[in-house]
Amino acid sequence: MRKSLQGVGFLLTVMGISGVIDHLWAQPVLGVVLNAFNRFVVQQVPGLQENAILANLGLSAVGILLIVVTEALSRPRSAT
């Protein structure tokens, strides 16, 4: 379960970074998969359309947070 949650976190992080790159330049690699957040979420919400770069950075932050929290919760607790 831990590895799958970390995998989802990694995917969210890469999708967010890809979205920022796509708004600043062109995204030639895996644009169909990595820019799904832009196509299905950002384009449908008017508030996110105005702040698309910030929304993508937020998606990356959520992905990093998911990885960190999953790793922290999976560590064995030491009895002191």
Domains held by the chain: number:
1
For residue 8, is it within any domain?
A: yes
78 part of a folded domain: no
Domain assignment present for residue 80? The answer is: no
In a domain, 32, yes or no: yes
Query: Does residue 79 belong to any structural domain of this protein?
Result: no
- Across 38-56, average pLDDT: 91
Cite the DSSP H helix spans in 25-51.
31-34, 36-37, 46-50
Residue 52 located in a structural domain: yes
Instruction: Please indicate, yes or no, if residue 51 is contained in any of the structural domains.
Output: yes
Averaged pLDDT, 14-38: 84
pTM to 2 decimals?
A: 0.84
Cβ atoms of 34 and 28 within 8 Å: the answer is no
Question: What range defines the domain where residue 21 resides?
Answer: 2-73
**pLDDT tier for residue 38 given thresholds of 50, 70 and 90:** confident
